[in-house]
């Protein structure tokens, strides 16, 4: 089904819808335009937190088909400093990535350095325990108040303070094409009352981000314009999610990030609530999500872009994506397996190397193993999203989903 394209962002058309899924489900394909090129959506954005997609050269990131890279304001603020990235000409110039760039606001670190500390991002509320939310006092590195967040650097313990304005200033210095509002992310175990308070805080922060973004945009005319995405929270509650979407939709954002810990089994539903409240002609980014079933569920309901650390992190730990699921390459059964990492894969690694070789590299702790595995995994997910995009344009989304997921999760 074809649909006329929509525009936003004032004089410049930032997003255009190309085609839509049938049945009013919300899923669509489109194009995001940035000063550094276009992103055909849905698209998987490679994560390069510290201005590097770990273990990969930017050339490889491009070759494997990633259309954009997402870095992190918190990490680059601490090291090397946003001013240095600014002097280098912005994130893309600094890291030698010519394509579109995103930066996350640092909001995620409010959780991961605060209450979360490595344990509460569970996607499954049945295995999560309320105890996990109670941060261990001595390890907690972030504290939230209504005005902002006080952090201790995880690198050297220095105390820093982020407010919506500070995050915008940093992200303007970093100069990514698409930046995110500073938000607070909660866990699935927080009380309903806390979710409400947090959501209201995030709403007020969003407004402040818009104001500061506009001020900085007017001031920094020597740099390419940046698009600001609002981030909506609301955890697992329909009324809160819908409210968040309506509140942010009423503000002057160029697009939206869907954030927070999402119950895996309800991910599609939650995205559906939110997407139905958001303007059709602005892009939606689902923050931090990237497993195959999640990608299908989110795209069906109208998500345009994703970022996820999983392909690269998991690759460094020898877990490999394949059409038949994820497997651990260090397993002894791969010692003499001279086939490619995945049948039918068109990545550089699969074209030239065997499971036995990568198995050896991991056992021998050779760094090339990380690189080759990361290339494969990133390519696998990028291609999966590209295939989904083609299936929407071609009208066979449901068939592709059934075939892909039945094979990837055979036991379900």
Q: How far apart are CA 260 and CA 245, in angstroms?
A: 13
Q: How far apart are CA 168 and CA 211, in angstroms?
A: 10
The token pair that represents 240 in the structure block: 């809160």
| 139 binds RNA per the rule CB under 7 A | yes
| 289 binds RNA per the rule CB under 7 A | yes
For residue 386, indicate whether it is catalytic.
no
The token pair that represents 182 in the structure block: 């500073």
> For RNA, how many residues bind (rule: CB under 7 A)?
59
| 309 binds RNA per the rule CB under 7 A | yes
Q: Least distance from C-beta 11 to RNA, angstroms?
A: 27
Q: Least distance from C-beta 97 to RNA, angstroms?
A: 15
∠ Cα 182 252 179 (to 5°): 40
| 113 binds RNA per the rule CB under 7 A | yes
Q: Least distance from C-beta 221 to RNA, angstroms?
A: 27
Q: Least distance from C-beta 264 to RNA, angstroms?
A: 5
Q: Which of 2, 118, 193, 222 binds RNA (CB under 7 A)?
A: 118
Helix, strand, coil % in the chain, rounded to nearest 5: 40, 15, 40
Nearer to RNA, 64 or 70 (CB): 70
Catalytic residue among 104, 132, 177, 294: 104
**How far is CA 18 from its chain centroid?**
22
Class of residue 257 by CB neighbours under 10 A (exposed 0-12, middle 13-18, buried 19+): buried
To which H or E segment does residue 210 belong? helix 192-219
Using the CB atoms, write b or e for 204-239: b if 16+ within 10 Å. Answer: ebbbbbbebbeebeeeeeebebbbbbbbbbbbbbee
Q: Which of 143, 215, 223, 316 binds RNA (CB under 7 A)?
A: 316
The token pair that represents 260 in the structure block: 């927070």
For residue 104, indicate whether it is catalytic.
yes
- What part of residues 187-216 is at the interface with RNA (CB under 7 A)? none
Catalytic residue among 132, 281, 294, 307: 307
Q: Which of the residues are catalytic?
A: 104, 307
Q: Which residues bind RNA (CB under 7 A)?
A: 47, 49, 53-54, 70, 72, 75, 104-105, 107-109, 111-113, 117-118, 121, 123, 139, 141, 154, 180, 183, 185, 231, 233, 257, 259-260, 264, 287-291, 294, 307-310, 312-314, 316-319, 326, 328, 330-333, 335, 363, 365, 367, 370
């Amino acid at each position: 089904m074809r649909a006329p394209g929509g525009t936003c962002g004032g004089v410049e058309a930032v997003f255009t819808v190309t085609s839509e899924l049938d049945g009013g489900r919300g899923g669509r394909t489109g194009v995001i335009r940035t000063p550094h090129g276009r992103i055909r959506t849905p698209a998987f954005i490679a994560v390069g937190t510290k201005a590097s997609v770990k273990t990969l050269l930017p050339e490889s990131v491009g070759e494997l088909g990633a259309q954009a890279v997402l870095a992190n304001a918190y990490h680059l603020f601490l090291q090397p400093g946003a001013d240095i990235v600014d002097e280098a000409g912005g994130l893309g110039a600094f890291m030698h990535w010519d394509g579109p760039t995103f930066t996350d606001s640092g909001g995620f670190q409010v959780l991961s350095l605060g209450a979360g500390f490595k344990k509460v991002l569970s996607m499954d509320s049945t295995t999560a325990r309320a105890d996990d939310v109670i941060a261990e006092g001595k390890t907690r590195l972030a504290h939230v108040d209504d005005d902002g967040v006080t952090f201790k650097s995880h690198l050297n313990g220095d105390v820093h303070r982020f407010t919506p304005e500070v995050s915008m200033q940093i992200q303007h210095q970093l100069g990514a094409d698409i930046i995110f509002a500073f938000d607070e992310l909660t866990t699935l175990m927080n009380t309903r009352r806390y979710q409400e308070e947090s959501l209201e805080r995030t709403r007020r922060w969003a407004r402040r981000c818009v104001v500061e973004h506009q001020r900085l945009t007017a001031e920094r005319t020597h740099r390419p314009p940046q698009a600001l995405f609002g981030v909506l929270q609301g955890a697992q509650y329909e009324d809160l999610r819908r409210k968040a979407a309506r509140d942010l939709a009423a503000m002057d954002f160029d697009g939206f990030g869907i954030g927070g810990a999402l119950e895996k089994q309800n991910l599609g539903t939650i995205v559906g609530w939110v997407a139905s409240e958001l303007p059709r002609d602005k892009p939606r980014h689902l923050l931090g999500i990237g497993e195959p079933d999640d990608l299908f569920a989110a795209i069906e309901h109208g998500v345009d872009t994703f970022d996820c650390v999983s392909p690269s992190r998991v690759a460094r730990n020898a877990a490999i994506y394949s059409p038949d699921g994820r497997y651990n390459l260090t397993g002894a059964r791969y010692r003499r397996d001279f086939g490619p990492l995945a049948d039918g894969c068109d990545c550089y690694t699969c074209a030239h190397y065997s499971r036995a070789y990568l198995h050896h590299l991991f056992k021998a702790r050779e760094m090339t193993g990380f690189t080759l595995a990361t290339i494969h995994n990133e390519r696998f997910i990028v291609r999966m999203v590209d295939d989904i995009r083609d299936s929407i344009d071609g009208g066979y989304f449901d068939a592709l989903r059934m075939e892909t997921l039945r094979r990837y999760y055979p036991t379900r």
